[in-house]
Chain A
């Protein structure tokens, strides 16, 4: 996974110019008006939190909850880093919206054939060697892209060398690790970051799913055993009754 790509957002550098928002909308052909929240036509947005600007987007988890939840496998973690969505498989159950610990996926509620929308880290552009549109558009390099290991190293270097930073890389542990990282000089909970569990989300359901075969084997054996006893009891009762009637006849 050395070639896995990741994005680092340095909140101390962001000037709130919304170039990333605009670039994202442009590349997807969405209407250009600014939106306050993520929506089907705003896959990344810049929020004002006090005097800081916080970018929201898909975190591209290493082990995504959405991909584990999707029953038809429309959502996938690619080897290159992005979590992608294949609309042709989607049945519209919206379990991904329920599952995402960062509440990122959006649904096209207004459409008659609605799909799920979310940032795909410009997987297509990245495959051609280009940077994601939002990163490319950033005039102050508040967002940078690179190999995940290098990006993490860079983030660590920054927070260790400068005392203003909070000593945590948001995304390094959240949901078991992501491919989008945030560093900040204001505590993350004050910037509206979700307190996601610090474990890979699919683990939460894996244990229950792992119990399935056991339930079938043990339960099946137990129920068959009970049925055998029931059957045997009935046979014994029948035989006894027959014996009794023969005796009475004699």
Chain B
């Protein structure tokens, strides 16, 4: 990230962008992504994926949809905190978290096109209703909430328009509907996060007992919020480190103080649920699923709780960044376990995603990351430090 930003701001006489490490990486990912796109749409599922009848949903659902949506939960959480609960101290990171969520949902929508067998019928759920289907509710929540996020994010773009009149009219209108938007967004995304867990309620008897629970909905909801906040912290840390953004690091520390109890609640909920369902016997069995369960609990609950309990970690942005990275990895392990590994014993399928599946997902995520970077550079997402070289008088360190 740092190498890339220095080349971007460097004043060079050449017209071509300089070749840096990260640019090369991004170029390779996009090239692989392009091939995957060709494979998926011109060659078909058989050649582009390792999906089979016993494993009809793979990486694109597990990573693209379940993780994509879950890790985008920061936007609604911060928006609700600022506008509905009046927690004004989080306002400086509001735009960043909304932008992350918006881009996250965009990747989910793009991923959907890869995922659907007949993607040009993606609009069918709008006119063909089956209200007994969890997926129907999920699809409507995605459509509505992506719209809400686009509207929530829109001022950042509109305020850059050169036409004063349009700008004023739009922003006034936006201001008048903002609270309604935030309220709708909070409800929609709460339902949506839960319903993604609800998708797997129908797999009773096939999803491993360590994961299958009538409260899958609640558990998906409870885990999404801390994970979404963790992503927000990571993104802001990177902006500060390499995009010259000016953020009071105490805010991140405050957010981490919210994450810890949320993770603890989630952990307790999982344990109580296992005891209630008499599934504790599976905790000590020597099998792959149990190992993956412990990996997930360690990364998502135990390690972050221990780390966040240390003052040194909470107050050091870099330590905080890596703690959040652990949370995100734990979260991804959970979603991939539910959607892939915990179903494999019963389906007798052994699914390892094809490289094109990885490449397609990675390229979509990378595109979102690149879009995020340019949005932070060119829009007023985060306040920025003035560039050093043009700053003649040495200034006092910024106090936000």
Given contacts A114-B118, A208-B194, A227-B84, is CB(A89)–CB(B124) below 8 Å?
A: yes
A139, B100: Cα distance in complex, Å: 64
Taken together as a complex, chains A and B put the C-alpha atoms of A208 and B183 apart, in Å, by 21
Q: Tell me the residues in window 171-206 of chain B with beta carbons closer than 8 Å to chain A beta carbons.
A: 179, 183, 186-187, 190-191, 194-195, 198-199, 201-206
Chain A residues in 8 Å Cβ range of B42: 112
- Complex CA–CA separation, A93 to B137 (angstroms): 14
Against B, the Cβ 8 Å flags (1 = close, 0 = not) of A203-240 are 01111110110011001100110110111011000000
* A135 contact set on B, CB distance < 8 A: none
Give chain A residues whose Cβ lies under 8 Å from the Cβ of B201. 204-205, 208
Assess whether A169 is interfacial by the CB under 8 Å rule.
no
Distance in Å from the Cβ of B314 to the closest Cβ of chain A? 26
User: Residue B204 contacts which of A197, A208, A212, A231 (CB distance < 8 angstroms)?
Assistant: A197
- Given the contacts A72-B124, A99-B203, A223-B84, A93 and B135 also touching, CB distance less than 8 Å: yes
Known: A69-B133, A106-B53, A109-B46. Contact between A95 and B190, CB under 8 A? no
Q: How many residues of chain A get a CB closer than 8 Å to chain B's CBs? A: 59
Say whether B205 contacts A101, CB under 8 Å.
yes
Which of A206, A220, A226 contacts B187, CB < 8 Å?
A: A220
A213 CB to nearest chain B CB (Å): 10
What residues on A are CB-neighbors of B179 within 8 Å? 227
Residues 91-146 (chain A) with a chain B CB within 8 angstroms: 91-95, 97-99, 101, 103, 105-107, 109-115
- Nearest-neighbour CB distance to chain B for A218, whole angstroms, equals 10
Decide if A187 is an interface residue (CB 8 Å cutoff): no
Chain A residue contacts of B250, Cβ below 8 A: none
Q: Indicate whether B391 reaches chain A with its CB closer than 8 angstroms.
A: no
- Beyond the given pairs A89-B124, A111-B44, A220-B183, 6 more chain A to chain B contacts, judged by CB atoms under 8 angstroms and listed by A's residue number, are A71-B130, A74-B128, A110-B44, A223-B80, A226-B84, A229-B86
26 CB contacts below 8 A, A to B, read: A68-B133, A69-B133, A91-B117, A93-B115, A93-B117, A93-B135, A95-B135, A98-B202, A101-B204, A101-B206, A106-B53, A109-B52, A113-B117, A196-B205, A201-B202, A201-B204, A205-B198, A208-B134, A208-B201, A209-B132, A219-B187, A223-B187, A226-B84, A227-B183, A231-B86, A233-B86
